[in-house]
Structure 1
Amino acid sequence: MYKFLATLIYLVTNILLRKVKVIGKENIPKNEAFIVTCNHRSMVEIIILAMALYPREVHYMAKQELFKGKLLDKFFRSVNAFPVNRANPGPSTIKTPVKLIKEHKIVGIFPSGQRADNAPMKKGAATISVMSKSKLLPAAYEGPIKFKDVIFGKEKCYIMFGEPIDSQSFTAQYKKNEAIEEITQTLESKTNTLIATLKHEA
């Protein structure tokens, strides 16, 4: 299901409508698994971020409330989403994304955990990066926040990728908890810089 939908949306937005502009593609790690993070204002950036990384697939961490009922559960899993209990995160919150990364897949996380620019970041992305020994790729989105505006509006969608953050360079200098804190602060700073740059670009 993911591949079909991703290809369809890619053709519509990138080729037919030419609505998506990707900046910093050279920063995307090649031939390796990584965690991609992004600011979160709506459902739109989830789709646009996936398009920016196409044809590689992104496995998104999503709140478990979306998976209620067999049909919704089946649908979201078919598009590479996996549930997380945000109120009471358990071991699977870490184990599932770490397993995906070890399978050479890309994991998508919205570290703020809520739909708002400049919201304080949680430590989940940094923790998973340390546990999986993988890089963090910071990204930012600027553009329409409603799907109808993506298709019918005149405003373009912008995705910008920053330079990857190598978690192992932090764990080599700090103890685990300190490394996670430093990585989170670095990720927040890089993301805010990307957001500010895109606001000027757009």
Structure 2
Amino acid sequence: MLYCIGRVIVWIIYHIKFSIKLIGKENIPKKGGIIIASNHVSNFDPPMIGITFKGVCTFMAKEELFQKNKLFTWVLRHLHAYPIKRGARDSSGIDKALDGLKKGWNFVIFPEGTRSKTGELGKPKSGVSMVAAQAGVAVAPVFIRYGKKRAIRRKVIVSVGELIPPEKFEINIEDRHEIHRISKMIMGEIIALKENAPEIE
């Protein structure tokens, strides 16, 4: 219930604050249960994705955010975010992602593992391919581009690519080369979206 209320509030705030152009609306499934892999340039990204896709969106957030105060931690948890230790192997994060996908929830992940301060796309980590290989669900590549920060109703482009079918991820998760190949393939789809996305004046 809190998630649904929060989603409506965020939708209203974001459509006041931003002028959002959605590209690839036809690629958004009518129900959840997919992995959403996006570039990451702003703290606005997770909610932006949450109001773009149908169904509940879960995501991982750095552990430090859950240590700010009890109220903020409570809000994060009720919005289906859970802590992850950056730079460490945390299998509990993958387990929680898989549990959510089994419930028909979406799982939002940023393949680069961190925000890009320059807007350039970095090398993908193994997390996205590990989840994709074990979940047996489709992956939606997403690219987000923001306009000037000081602009009134800051322009944003959200580009959603065609779903990558789960058959593409049928690999041996113990094979590091295959894991790297899958991560690189998913990142390649995001790069293609970036190259085709219009510039913001």
- TM-score where L is the length of structure 2: 0.85
Q: d(CA) in 2 for partners of 1:179 and 1:61?
A: 24
- 1:193 and 2:196 aligned: no
User: How far did 1:169 drift?
Assistant: 2.9
Residues 91/12 of structure 1: CA separation in 2 closer, same or farther (3 Å cut): closer
User: How far did 1:12 drift?
Assistant: 4.0
- 1:61 and 2:55 aligned: no
CA RMSD of aligned residues (A): 2.2
User: How far did 1:163 drift?
Assistant: 1.2
- 1:161 and 2:164 aligned: no
Residues 121/22 of structure 1: CA separation in 2 closer, same or farther (3 Å cut): same
AA aligned to 1:185 is K
2:7 alignment partner in structure 1: 6
Report the structure, 1 or 2, having the larger helix content. Answer: 1
Question: Equivalences for 1:12-161 in 2 at 5 Å?
Answer: 12-14=13-15, 19-53=19-53, 55-68=54-67, 69-116=69-116, 117-144=120-147, 149=150, 153-161=152-160
Q: d(CA) in 1 for partners of 2:80 and 2:57?
A: 7
Q: d(CA) in 2 for partners of 1:144 and 1:63?
A: 26
Q: d(CA) in 2 for partners of 1:132 and 1:123?
A: 14
Q: Structure 1 regions of 5+ residues with no counterpart?
A: none
Q: Structure 2 regions of 5+ residues with no counterpart?
A: none
Is the Cα–Cα contact under 8 Å of residues 142 and 199 in structure 1 kept in the other structure?
A: no
AA aligned to 1:23 is I
Q: d(CA) in 1 for partners of 2:194 and 2:105?
A: 26
AA aligned to 2:50 is A
Q: d(CA) in 2 for partners of 1:90 and 1:170?
A: 21
AA aligned to 1:92 is S
4+ runs of 1 displaced by more than 4 Å?
none
User: SS at 1:141's partner residue?
Assistant: strand
Residues 13/42 of structure 1: CA separation in 2 closer, same or farther (3 Å cut): closer
- Once the two structures are superposed, what CA deviation does each residue of 1:10-48 show, in whole Å capped at 9, x if it has no partner? 23444x677111111211233351110111111112222
User: How far did 1:181 drift?
Assistant: 2.2
Residues 90/18 of structure 1: CA separation in 2 closer, same or farther (3 Å cut): closer
User: SS at 1:156's partner residue?
Assistant: strand
User: How far did 1:200 drift?
Assistant: 3.4
Size of the aligned set, in residue pairs, is 194
Q: d(CA) in 2 for partners of 1:18 and 1:62?
A: 23
- TM-score where L is the length of structure 1: 0.85
Q: d(CA) in 1 for partners of 2:59 and 2:77?
A: 10
Is the Cα–Cα contact under 8 Å of residues 84 and 93 in structure 1 kept in the other structure?
A: yes
